[in-house]
């Protein structure tokens, strides 16, 4: 049996499955490539040993028994990164996020409003007035960093997931899940305890599939990491226990 990894409940997205970006990162960190594209084939289970398999063509798969959960491969990422917004603009935009009170996964590690920033990422971008972008600020918790205070590649992947959904998924369109995340997580170091700005933008919106981009900036405008996420609307939200009724 090869190397195995287990996703703790802390790193959930839906109530009973893993946060998509975290699961993608678990596969991507095993690749010999800075930029990778990871496709999720099934909801990644929690508290379950997953086998890391090295496939042909430099690919990596995560398997639950014989079932392929995620597949990662080297990739290229060509997106036009928008300009940074100020911390004040980003934080004001976050307050206006339309999903905050109607989030299908309020306990999500990446963007769940019920999570505490001391033990989750909790970036909740909102639309910036007079700009075609969404934004929030993010001060990474030290638990996401190595001994030198730099946020790990794994948690950078996780932070690049949910922001791509904010512009991609139209409010009221129903729960979606991440299908594929392509990311360059190492443009510049992301340091724990320092405020960063996360900016997201719409790439394409379809009937069931939509794509958004996200970038994490230092306050001086230096891009640290960038991603593109593909989101798919759920035909049956109950499959991943998505919340669909609200007070």
- pLDDT truncated to tens, each residue of the chain (247 aa)? 579 999 999 999 999 999 999 999 999 999 999 999 999 999 999 999 999 999 988 899 999 999 999 999 999 999 999 999 999 999 999 999 888 888 999 999 999 999 999 999 999 999 999 999 999 999 999 999 999 999 999 999 999 999 999 999 998 889 999 999 999 999 999 999 999 999 999 999 998 999 999 999 999 999 999 999 999 999 999 999 999 988 7
Q: Tell me: do 44 and 114 sit in the same domain.
A: no
Q: Which of 28, 53, 74 is at the close of a domain?
A: 74
Q: Which of 40, 74, 108 is at the close of a domain?
A: 74
Q: Tell me: do 180 and 96 sit in the same domain.
A: yes
Structural domains in the chain (count): 2
Q: Which of 46, 74, 102 is at the close of a domain?
A: 74
Q: Tell me: do 99 and 65 sit in the same domain.
A: no
Structural domain boundaries enclosing 23 = 4-74
Instruction: Give me 182's structure tokens.
Output: 């392509």
pLDDT at 169: 94
Q: Do the Cβ atoms of 75 and 36 come closer than 8 Å?
A: yes
Q: Tell me: do 67 and 151 sit in the same domain.
A: no
Q: Tell me: do 169 and 230 sit in the same domain.
A: yes
Residue 213 lies in a domain: yes
Q: Tell me: do 110 and 200 sit in the same domain.
A: yes
Q: Do the Cβ atoms of 136 and 214 come closer than 8 Å?
A: no
Q: Tell me: do 65 and 91 sit in the same domain.
A: no
Residue 245 lies in a domain: no
CATH number where 178 lies: 3.10.129.10
The span from the first CA to the last CA of the chain, in angstroms, equals 48
Q: Tell me: do 99 and 14 sit in the same domain.
A: no
pLDDT at 108: 98
Residue 202 lies in a domain: yes
Listed in sequence order, the DSSP H helices in 40-150 are 87-95
Q: Tell me: do 104 and 204 sit in the same domain.
A: yes
How many of the other CB atoms lie within 10 Å of CB of 237? 17
- Model's pTM, two decimal places? 0.96
Residue 79 lies in a domain: no
Residue 70 lies in a domain: yes
Residue 217: HSE in the Cβ half-sphere, 13 Å Cα cutoff? 20
Instruction: Give me 51's structure tokens.
Output: 């086998």
Q: Tell me: do 96 and 60 sit in the same domain.
A: no
């Amino acid at each position: 049996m090869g190397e195995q990894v287990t996703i703790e409940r802390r790193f959930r997205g839906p109530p009973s499955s893993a946060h998509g970006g975290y699961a993608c990162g678990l596969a991507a960190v095993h690749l010999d490539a800075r930029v990778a594209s990871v496709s999720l084939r099934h909801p990644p289970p929690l508290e379950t040993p997953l086998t890391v398999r090295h496939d042909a063509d430099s690919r990596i798969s995560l398997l639950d028994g014989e079932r392929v959960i995620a597949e990662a491969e080297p990739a290229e990422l060509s997106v036009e990164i928008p300009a940074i917004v100020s911390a004040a603009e980003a934080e004001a935009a976050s307050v206006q996020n339309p999903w905050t009170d109607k989030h299908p996964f309020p306990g999500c590690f990446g963007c769940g409003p019920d999570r505490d920033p001391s033990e989750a990422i909790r970036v909740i971008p909102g639309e910036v007035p007079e700009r075609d972008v969404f934004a929030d600020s993010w001060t990474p918790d030290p638990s996401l960093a190595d001994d030198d205070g730099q946020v790990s590649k794994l948690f950078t992947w996780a932070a690049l997931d949910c922001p791509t959904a904010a512009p991609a998924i139209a409010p009221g369109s129903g729960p979606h899940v991440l299908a594929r995340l392509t990311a360059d997580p190492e443009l510049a170091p992301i340091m724990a305890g320092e405020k960063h700005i996360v900016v997201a933008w719409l790439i394409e919106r379809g009937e069931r599939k939509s794509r958004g981009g996200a970038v994490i900036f230092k306050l001086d405008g230096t891009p640290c990491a960038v991603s593109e996420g593909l989101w798919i609307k759920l035909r049956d939200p109950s499959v991943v226990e998505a919340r669909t009724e609200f007070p």
